[in-house]
Structure 1
Amino acid sequence: AIPITGWLSDRVGSRNLFLWSTVGFVIASAMCGMAQNLEQMVVFRIFQGICAAFMNPLSQTVMLDINPPERQAKAMAIWGMGIMVGPILGPVIGGWLTDNFNWRWVFFVNLPLGAICVAILWWLLPSRPVRRRPFDLFGFALLAIGISALQLMLDRGQGEDWFGSTEIWIEMLVAMVALWMFVVHMATAKHPMFERALWRNANLVTAMFFMLVIGVVMMATMALLPPMLQNLYGHSVFDTGILLMPRGFGVVLTMAISARLIQRGMDPRILVGLGMVLAAYSLWQMTHWSLEMGTWPVIVSGFVQGLGMGLVFMPLNGMAFATLAPHQRTEGASLINLARNIGASVGISLVTTILARSIQQSHAALVPNITAQNLGTIDPNLLQMLGGSGDAVLAMANAEINRQAAMIGYLNDFYAMAILTALSVPLVIFLRKPKGPMEKPDPAAAGH
């Protein structure tokens, strides 16, 4: 749904699309909470995802449209803070609701908040002029097929032994062919799905690459940490959410600071580069975690990573949108959000594969080190409590090997993400500093 946000917004009006997508999201949340089986949950979640797909790019566009150029940096910072409230409070509220009530309340909690949002949008949301333009059905079909095949390959790769499976090869080939045809179509079509001027915009394209990396780092980290903290360290769902909150606080803090610095004339490219360095450093810190550590390293590394992401997020969006004409903003926001979502899918698949392979290899490497001669040195007190039972001792040894192997797998994931983040820092050289505050480009350059 994200790629058609720009066209649909032009066709029915951004106000109507924003309102109805919010209403649909609230209804889908209620249906998810009332789901009686897995099949219903999958259908309702798809409906919820379609509605949610329009909300991010539309909200970003609205914030730019209602603010003059000199206030757009501050507006983007406020928007970014709002976007980060969910990741900050979501795990905590979700954990508390699950522990004290029922998992269904994770969805029902959206109903009163959603109703308030709909009322505010109905009252205050401005409308944009409707633009009639042809829908690029062929381009949309190619992009949908390519992304769907890529998503299937990433989701099923680990379970199907990746390229040892014919299915994965087919999905990869379909994705490559469809996406290549989409690129050719964008370059040759009379009415392409996205304006060709968008692909010639260095800031927008570079921002998409950065968002791809941010999607990998942020979403993969958020996917790894909850099971790690719960399974290896024994934290509850609620405590895990509390431990992850400093990451969001760091994002909010540096978003506010970066907006002020940019308003005072600081080069936003410096902030983006510094932010990526901080994010890479935080991941390097995480490679030194151990099973014996306390909670402080989790808090510190999460906060540092949040500081880095906040420094990247707002200046990067500001530079990308400063070079877009107003009518291009929704499509630009759609492309940036699409890149981030693809990065999240790739990142989660990547870290899941590294984790599973590392656990298998580490377990196989650690088992030969456990012998009859050193088995008794594991924990004499525990051995005495077990009464010398051979099966119990072996089970205890295997459980400890599993913990150590899992920890090695998580550390390998952190290494991979740290390297990827560090390698992305030089992309800053492709960004161009806008000549003025959120400068509006020449309308002549906005054509196809």
Structure 2
Amino acid sequence: MTDLTAAEAKGGGVRIAIVVAVVLAAVLEVLDSTIVNIALPHIKSAFGATTDQTTWILTSYIVAAVVVMPLTGLMARLIGRRRLILGAITGFALFSALCGISTSLDEMILFRLGQGVFGAFLIPLSQSILFDAFPREKRGQAMAMFGLGVVVAPVLGPTAGAVLTEYFSWRMVFFVNLPMALFALLMLAGELPKDEPERVRIDWTGLALMALGIGALQFLLDQGESKDWFLSPVIQVAAIAAALGLAAFLWRGLRHPEPVVDLGLLGERNFAMASLIIAGFAVTMFGGIAILPLFVQGLLGYPVLEAGYLFVPRGIAGGLSMVVVGSLLVGRVDPRILAAIGLIVTAVSNFMYGALTLEASFSQLAVPGFISGLGLGLIFVPLSTLAFDRIEQARQDDASGLYGVTRQLGSSIGIAVVGALLVRATATDTAILSAKVTPFNPAAQAYLAPLGLAPDTPEGAAILSAEIARQAALMAYSHIFNLLGVLALVLLPLLLLMQKPSGAGPRPGAGH
């Protein structure tokens, strides 16, 4: 039994202060990963930077977080879980403040790296602490609370970022972290039991290979689109480094007696399948979230605040879904069935987005988002419960770090692939439509007739060209949303490979 579990047994139940504190810690990390996006144009203007340069504000954070996250278990053993999460919150808050007062782009990128390093530990530690704090029969509630932070917060991030940027300053998207961090820090410092660090041998070679492989992969995903993918020598080098680094890391990790990351966790069927499914789901979720503001603002012409408000119904539905599924359904209904329903609901929401027109109203845009939010709880809560059902307590931190990095890589892959496909689909659809619209096309002539113009006039040709661009963009967005819907359905067979819940808590292991 862990120190936390023992303390809860003496106290007679789950300590609400710990629950609130670790959920806040999770919110800090995931909210920051999306809230900054909406402020990028303002940061770009303030520092006089180019678009390519400002993308490093996002890339530096994500690369650092993805590289460090799998080390959560190792660091928890090395310095103790309590010291690690308190240090992570403190470091994250410090670098948030430094980002808020930065005076140049170089400073901002450096401080974002620091944010990513400390923020990487927050989600895995929050998840494992919640697992220890809740008895086996209430694991669904634990994952519902955790999901409110991990899944709902990034959905609401663009809305919060829009409000803070519009009414205050882009610097507020960093300063908003400080009160939450202080609150979480004070509660955890007073409530989280002390634990003793362990003597750990660090495989520095494995650590270097992991950092190289994962870091290069994340760099490729973040910068590939802006650098024209594999036509760029930089991306080619990153791809080679990622392939060689990851291959060598896996080979060494499976043979080393004390690997940096416990890869043996992937031998547990439920954990492996859940990791694959959550990565695929992250592709559909974050891929869609990434292009939705572009679709709403760039193509449909919605103002930034109204575009941000579109995420509110999704967040509300996600929160409700998490609570209902975690409190009422998990434990009564097979989690695999709940996850299957969630994937189907996610597919339906994407298909609804794919059916929208250029005249889509706010409600027509909000309804698919609300439905998508319902799918969040139906997928996240039961899938997380299944993933950790057969993992020993001594391996919870390692499992949480590994599970978290697969989710993060899935979101990065989704954003990168969707962005690339959108550019390609737009170019292809523009070429197809342009080939069909000629001065002799009756539809083109009828479209311009009310304006007193003809297709062969400069004014008429310009209007037709603009309309072709709009229609081609709409077709491209439709293709992408439909593709994301199909992907959600493709994940369904993986649920058949998962085992039913064991019906018993995690096997006893070494305490933290």
| TM-score normalised by length of structure 2 | 0.81
Q: 1:285 to 1:180 in 2, by over 3 A?
A: same
Match of 1:28 in 2: 95
Q: Residue by residue, what CA displacement relative to the aligned partner does 1:18-74 show, whole Å, maximum 9, x if unpaired?
A: 111111111211221222222222111111111111100011111111222222221
Deviation at 1:166, TM superposition (A): 4.6
Asked whether the 8 Å contact 2:140–2:331 carries over to 1, the reply is no
Q: Quick check: 1:125 aligned with 2:192?
A: yes
Distance 2:341 2:402 in 1: 24
Q: Quick check: 1:186 aligned with 2:253?
A: yes
Q: Residue by residue, what CA displacement relative to the aligned partner does 1:256-290 show, whole Å, maximum 9, x if unpaired?
A: 22223445532111111111111112112222111
Q: Quick check: 1:402 aligned with 2:492?
A: no
CA RMSD of aligned residues (A): 2.4
Structure 2 counterpart of 1:378, from 447, 452, 473: 447
Deviation at 1:443, TM superposition (A): 5.2
Q: 1:360 to 1:172 in 2, by over 3 A?
A: same
Match of 2:6 in 1: none
Structure 1 counterpart of 2:205, from 138, 154, 160: 138
Deviation at 1:121, TM superposition (A): 2.0
Asked whether the 8 Å contact 1:247–1:306 carries over to 2, the reply is yes
Deviation at 1:82, TM superposition (A): 2.9
**Secondary structure of 2:388 counterpart:** helix
Structure 1 counterpart of 2:507, from 441, 444, 447: 441
Q: Quick check: 1:424 aligned with 2:491?
A: yes
Structure 1 counterpart of 2:374, from 299, 304, 307: 307
Distance 1:11 1:153 in 2: 31
Asked whether the 8 Å contact 1:31–1:44 carries over to 2, the reply is yes
Q: 1:82 to 1:160 in 2, by over 3 A?
A: closer
Q: Quick check: 1:93 aligned with 2:143?
A: no
Q: Quick check: 1:363 aligned with 2:430?
A: yes
**Secondary structure of 1:322 counterpart:** coil
Asked whether the 8 Å contact 2:393–2:507 carries over to 1, the reply is no
Q: Quick check: 1:258 aligned with 2:258?
A: no
Unaligned runs of 5+ in 2: 1-67
Distance 2:106 2:113 in 1: 11
Distance 2:262 2:363 in 1: 48
Deviation at 1:95, TM superposition (A): 0.8
> What one-letter code is carried by the residue in structure 2 that aligns with 1:432?
Q
Asked whether the 8 Å contact 2:82–2:192 carries over to 1, the reply is yes
Asked whether the 8 Å contact 1:88–1:249 carries over to 2, the reply is no
Structure 2 counterpart of 1:114, from 178, 181, 199: 181
**Secondary structure of 1:130 counterpart:** coil
Structure 1 counterpart of 2:385, from 303, 314, 318: 318
Aligned residues: 442
| TM-score normalised by length of structure 1 | 0.92
Q: Quick check: 1:241 aligned with 2:308?
A: yes
Match of 1:273 in 2: 340
Deviation at 1:340, TM superposition (A): 0.7
> What one-letter code is carried by the residue in structure 2 that aligns with 1:400?
E
**Following superposition of structure 1 onto structure 2, how do residues 136-175 of structure 1 map, counting pairs within 5 Å?**
136-175=203-242
Q: 1:342 to 1:135 in 2, by over 3 A?
A: same
> What one-letter code is carried by the residue in structure 1 that aligns with 2:300?
Y
Deviation at 1:442, TM superposition (A): 6.2
Distance 2:373 2:201 in 1: 41
> What one-letter code is carried by the residue in structure 1 that aligns with 2:385?
G
Q: Quick check: 1:7 aligned with 2:74?
A: yes
Distance 2:163 2:309 in 1: 10
Distance 2:78 2:202 in 1: 9
Structure 2 counterpart of 1:230, from 291, 297, 301: 297
**Secondary structure of 1:302 counterpart:** helix
Asked whether the 8 Å contact 2:206–2:249 carries over to 1, the reply is yes
